[in-house]
Amino acid sequence: SSSSVLPTSSDASGRARFAGIENSVDTSWSFQYATFPFLHGKEDSIVFLGQCYLLGEELTPLLVNMKGVVEQTEFFQRDNYLLLTSIRRSLVSLVEALYTDKGQSIRAGVIKYFESQGRNRFTKEDVKIIVLLESALLNLGRCIDLVKPAGLLAGSVPAPTWARALDALEKSMNNIQVVCDPDQPLDPKDWGKL
């Protein structure tokens, strides 16, 4: 005796069919939010790192969509344009906070955190932190400007422009990760020390 998981039938060619399921499989993915320990730190600098890092991570669905557009396998999703502009506004607010009195202590705390971890050569000085984050903002702004006609449903964007927008997005995400990833992997020499 045999058993099958899905009900089957045969078509005219004698091939087994899976009760119509082959034509009804829809795939999708979503960005699930989870608690990020660095958002609940006691120090403002650690919370700042966590907030910036998560903003960079929220750009991942846009990155996937834009790669599909560049490869001409997807259409640009307008929701991703709105997400892009929203994330840039949030990142602007965080970076502007670095220019306040409280921002000086945040920058000093970030430097102290990375020095205590013995890593991230890009954040040895607070000027470098600001420069990299300002560069991330500049690239996000450039990406927004390049895809704006498609994002606002006002016109089309030529293929070379999509590639430039993707490049700007990738640079921005990389800068955010370099400066703001508080949870970087261990150096191999430290693996046995845990």
| pTM assigned to the model | 0.73
Span 71-104, pLDDT tens digits: 999 999 999 999 999 999 999 999 999 888 888 8
Tell me the C-alpha distance between 189 and 74, whole Å.
Answer: 43
**What's the number of CA atoms in the CB half-sphere (13 Å) around residue 130?**
13
Q: How confident is the model at residue 5 (pLDDT cuts 50, 70, 90)?
A: very low
What are 96's two structure tokens? 């502007």
Distances (CA, A) of 108 to 125, 131, 181: 9, 15, 16
For residue 123, give the nearest of 52, 65, 18 by alpha carbon. Answer: 52
For residue 168, give the nearest of 192, 191, 130, 135 by alpha carbon. Answer: 135
Span 146-183, pLDDT tens digits: 999 999 999 999 999 999 999 999 999 999 988 888 76
